[in-house]
Amino acid sequence: MNGGEVVVVTGFGPFRQFLVNPSWKAAQGLKLVGFGERTDIYIREVPVSYVKTQQVIAEIWQTLHPKFAVHLGVARGSSVVFLEQTGKNSGYRDKDVCGFCPESQCCVEGGPEKLDSVVNMRAVAKEFKQAGTGVIYSRDAGRYLCDFAYYFSLYHGQRRAALIHVPSSGSLTSADRLVPLLQSLIQTMLDQLEDPSETA
């Protein structure tokens, strides 16, 4: 660690047919390439468990105090990258890998129904779409562990978080294409944090 700003990148653990989750492989790839000398990158694997997800994300914000947290999830059956704008607080009915779902079907009891990232994901997606990359803006993160983790992080991190769904099929699944794209996307988000006028 060199005393720079901290960015945390998480990927998820094994899930259904994914013995090694593509989101975790992408996080490991980002750790290798980094975000420049002034940024320290930490990566964490998040179990596909509601309880453990809350523990890991609370610990990230309480102990590392990152400038920004990026959560990577996998979009099953997709060949593009989705930039999620919004995390949702309720409607979590699907069981996790432990066979559990929250009794209240809620992420933070009493929290707002939706939280948006401070980053304008539409502006980021538009910039990359114009460059011909497979990047799409989304406001529906799916109400499973990715959405749950995103909302919890937005709630604890003053909305300084992103959720990026990575593809499970197509040419962007190869690390040599996906990792540089994610690196550029996250760098664009960090630049936007520095200069909010870029969100126009």
Reported as a single tens digit per residue, the pLDDT across 4-50 is: 799 999 999 999 888 999 999 999 999 999 999 999 999 999 999 99
Give me the catalytic one of 71, 84, 107, 156: 84
165 is catalytic: yes
CATH number at residue 27: 3.40.630.20
Give me the catalytic one of 71, 107, 156, 165: 165
Is there a contact between 159 and 68 (Cβ–Cβ < 8 Å)? no
Q: Which of 81, 70, 82, 63 is nearest to 150 (CA)?
A: 70
Predicted pLDDT of residue 3: 60
Task: Specify if 97 maps to a domain.
Answer: yes
Is there a contact between 148 and 46 (Cβ–Cβ < 8 Å)? no
Q: Is 88 exposed, middle or buried (0-12, 13-18, 19+ CB in 10 A)?
A: buried
* Domain housing 107: 5-194
Task: Specify if 200 maps to a domain.
Answer: no
Predicted TM-score (pTM) of the model is 0.95
Predicted pLDDT of residue 195: 83
Predicted pLDDT of residue 46: 98
Query: 3-state SS of the chain: helix, strand, coil percent to 5?
Result: 40, 25, 40
Predicted pLDDT of residue 199: 52
Is there a contact between 9 and 27 (Cβ–Cβ < 8 Å)? yes
The CA dihedral of 1, 158, 193, 135, to the nearest 10 degrees, is 100
Residue ranges, the chain, pLDDT below 50? 1-2, 200
Task: Specify if 182 maps to a domain.
Answer: yes
Give me the catalytic one of 71, 107, 146, 156: 146
Is there a contact between 17 and 200 (Cβ–Cβ < 8 Å)? no
Q: Which of 97, 123, 113, 98 is nearest to 191 (CA)?
A: 123
Task: Specify if 43 maps to a domain.
Answer: yes
